[in-house]
Amino acid sequence: MFVRVQVPPRVQKSSQIGSFFYFAMYYVYILKSLQDGSLYKGQTEDLDQRIRQHNLGKSAYTSRKRPWELVYIEEYALREEAIIRERYLKSAAGRRFIKSLNL
């Protein structure tokens, strides 16, 4: 099961590269270990690169439980919002929320 949630942005943060504008997105994600079923919660700006790092063993915490699969993602316009949400998911209330998702 894979769950994707898009949170409506309060303020869009944009950057300009040359004549192009882009909107930065920040992601809160949950990975599931295919080895033992444990979950890992994190946040990043580059989701594809971060998942590759986890599966290549470049993260000390996740290197022993590879491989990982992405099972949940939320998108945020501001890094501060993503950090707050990641902290929530790591709290007791957040763990109860994750349990209700049946990941």
Residue 44 belongs to a domain with what CATH number? Answer: 3.40.1440
The share of the chain scoring above pLDDT 70, in percent, equals 78
pLDDT (0 to 100) of residue 53: 96
Going by their DSSP bridges, the two strands 14-17 and 39-44 should be labelled as unpaired
CB 1 within 8 A of CB 72: no
CA dihedral 72, 97, 95, 87 (to 10 degrees): 70
DSSP state letters, 47-61: HHHHHHHHHTT-STT
For residue 92, give its domain range.
3-101
> Looking at residues 33-38, what average pLDDT do you find?
97
User: What is the residue-averaged pLDDT of the chain?
Assistant: 86
> Looking at residues 59-65, what average pLDDT do you find?
94
